[in-house]
Structure 1
Amino acid sequence: MADIHHSFLGLLVTVLYLLTGVSGETLSMFSRVGDDVSLPCNNVVYPNCSSTVWNYNRAGSTVTIEVVALGKIKDDKTERLSLGSDCSLHVSNVRAEDAGRYTCQQFLTETGSQHGGDAPVDLSVLTISSTTPVTDLTPDADMTLRCSLFSFMGHGTQCISGVSLSWVLNETGTEPQKYSGSQDPQHSSCDITLTVTLQKKDNNRKWTCTLTEKGNVKISIDFTSTFSGTSNAVKLPISHIMLFVALTIMAAIVTIHTSRRSRPPKALPPQAGESHRHWSS
């Protein structure tokens, strides 16, 4: 009877596993620095994730790091990692070093062998930065921006086939003054720069780098050029300032008037006749 029970359980697990479908293909996902991302697990066996293991491989490294063991986040990884109800791996506040290959695997028992194949997900992280110190951003100064994609293939290497980075056209519809990076999706660099000579109108302006995959925009990232020494304080209309001053003066007058009325009256000096009568008695 026990053998029948175990056989039925094994058959049920196998059917559930087949119904989930395992493609074996690597899923590519893109994220910006600072965003949150959820990496799907396409080979889940137990819906409570007790069979799920997530491994991580950084670009250029042969070391495999286990971040989830049978549904539990490793203690040293709990700060920004969590497991979704569908066993997806949620990464919050994504950093450039999070780029790499994440592999979801299934183990029916703690000491048993792997059940089924891998479900790998490649996470690429898009970053943008200014190689010019932000304190040096002023009108007529040159600003150089760098847009990079960190991926399982590494940083600064040729992009994955079909993926390209490019700078968005400016308001006038013309190309930026100086830029680097091929527009050919088959031979595109995933590390491009943009150099512009700033003008007064460029204060608090956004510069956008876009990632395209097979002709479709997947994600973009912005950098805002803010000139040093400028104040972001809100400027109030003169009428509002005059009203504020008037209200302040009125409040001061009311306070003074109220304080005077609340003072006790001064005692009057005794009359001369009253003093004489008091002396005669």
Structure 2
Amino acid sequence: MDRIRWIMSSLLMLQVQFRDNLYISLFFSAAAAGTYSSSTVRVGDEVTLSCLNVTDDQDQCDSTEWLFTGSGNRVTLFEHGRIQEEAKAKSDRLRVTEKCSLVIKNVADEDIGRYICKQFRSGELDGECTVVYLSVVTMTEQKNDDTVTLFCSVLTYGGCVHTVKWLCEGNKTDMKTTQLDCSGTVTFTTSHLHQKSEHYELLKCEVTHDQDVQLSSFIRLQSSGEKPGDDPTTTISQTTN
């Protein structure tokens, strides 16, 4: 009897494993047939993820579906013309445009992941999926005695695929930069903050993905002892494979 139970249990486990593997295989096969792009933004920014191959004969994007995968979760964000209950926790930050693009306001770490847009016609998948990988850049400051260190790092879905580099213009004396996987730092003395108003350093954290600049964030070191602040100028580009 115990042996029969063991055989039945083993068969059940094999059935579950086969079902899960089949689901994963079908999921990735569907995604593989899509058009891929990537987008990189800073924490707190707003980003628009475009959906390609949008059909014209739909009312309020009722034939469009947006799916999100991140942090081990798969969530349907938008379906049947409205934001879904699964996305309730951040529904106030989401909206879909007339072109069925997904807009995310005040981007946070929890938004990092893979977004898939699907188009349906008569209940069947119509055309290729649009797959967008969203990465988020954070910038922080740390003061230590007479030095200031600025940190620039990028958080991604599925592993580090970016290069982070601090670029400096002007006087580089007493400035030290380091570069690691998906992060970089620049350290300088506080004396840089007490120069005359016509003299300042312009720092830029440059994030690249596959040799293409994804984001350049400029920081101007203010004079008269003011704290360094973020210049609102941010350049973002997307790549499509």
Q: TM-score range by the shorter chain?
A: 0.5 to 0.7
Q: Which residue in 2 is equivalent to 1:123?
A: 134
**How high is the TM-score relative to the length of structure 2?**
0.65
Change (3 A) 1:230 1:218: closer
Deviation at 1:107, TM superposition (A): 3.8
Match of 1:103 among 116, 122, 132: 116
Q: Which residue in 2 is equivalent to 1:85?
A: 98
Q: Which residue in 2 is equivalent to 1:146?
A: 151
SS in 2 for 1:147: strand
* Alpha-carbon separation, structure 1, partners of 2:155 and 2:77: 20
Post-superposition Cα deviations, 1:140-185, rounded to whole Å, max 9, x if no partner, equal 711111101112125xxx3x2xx4211112313x487222215xxx
* Alpha-carbon separation, structure 2, partners of 1:179 and 1:212: 17
User: What RMSD over aligned residues (CA atoms) do the two structures have, in Å?
Assistant: 3.2
**Retained in 2: the 8 A contact 1:179–1:193?**
yes
Letter in 1 for 2:215: I
SS in 2 for 1:165: strand
Gaps of 5+ in 1: 1-21, 183-188, 232-281
* Alpha-carbon separation, structure 1, partners of 2:118 and 2:212: 31
**Retained in 2: the 8 A contact 1:53–1:68?**
yes
Matched, 1:63 2:76: no
Post-superposition Cα deviations, 1:215-254, rounded to whole Å, max 9, x if no partner, equal 44331224455699869xxxxxxxxxxxxxxxxxxxxxxx
Q: Give 1:126-275 correspondences, 5 Å limit.
A: 126-132=137-143, 141-154=146-159, 158=160, 160=161, 163-172=162-171, 174=172, 177-181=175-179, 189-199=181-191, 200-201=194-195, 207-223=203-219
* Alpha-carbon separation, structure 2, partners of 1:47 and 1:25: 21
The answer to which of 79-88 and 196-205 deviates more is 196-205
* Alpha-carbon separation, structure 1, partners of 2:58 and 2:41: 27
**Retained in 2: the 8 A contact 1:99–1:125?**
yes
Between Structure 1 and Structure 2, the one with more strand by share is 2
SS in 1 for 2:114: strand
Q: Give 1:19-34 correspondences, 5 Å limit.
A: 24-34=34-44
Q: Which residue in 2 is equivalent to 1:40?
A: 50
Tell which structure's C-alpha radius of gyration is larger.
1
Deviation at 1:117, TM superposition (A): 4.3
**Retained in 1: the 8 A contact 2:169–2:202?**
no
**Retained in 1: the 8 A contact 2:50–2:101?**
yes
**Retained in 2: the 8 A contact 1:83–1:89?**
yes
Letter in 2 for 1:121: V
Q: Which residue in 2 is equivalent to 1:54?
A: 66
Post-superposition Cα deviations, 1:7-51, rounded to whole Å, max 9, x if no partner, equal xxxxxxxxxxxxxxx961321112122221110111433543111
**Retained in 2: the 8 A contact 1:169–1:176?**
no
Change (3 A) 1:196 1:35: same
Letter in 1 for 2:65: V
Post-superposition Cα deviations, 1:114-147, rounded to whole Å, max 9, x if no partner, equal 4454321001112211133xxx7xxx71111110
Q: Which residue in 1 is equivalent to 2:82?
A: 72
Higher relative contact order (CA 8 A, sep 6+): 2
**Retained in 2: the 8 A contact 1:95–1:125?**
yes
**Deviating 4+ runs (over 4 angstroms):** 112-117, 202-206, 223-231
* Alpha-carbon separation, structure 1, partners of 2:69 and 2:106: 19
Change (3 A) 1:228 1:102: farther
Deviation at 1:53, TM superposition (A): 1.1
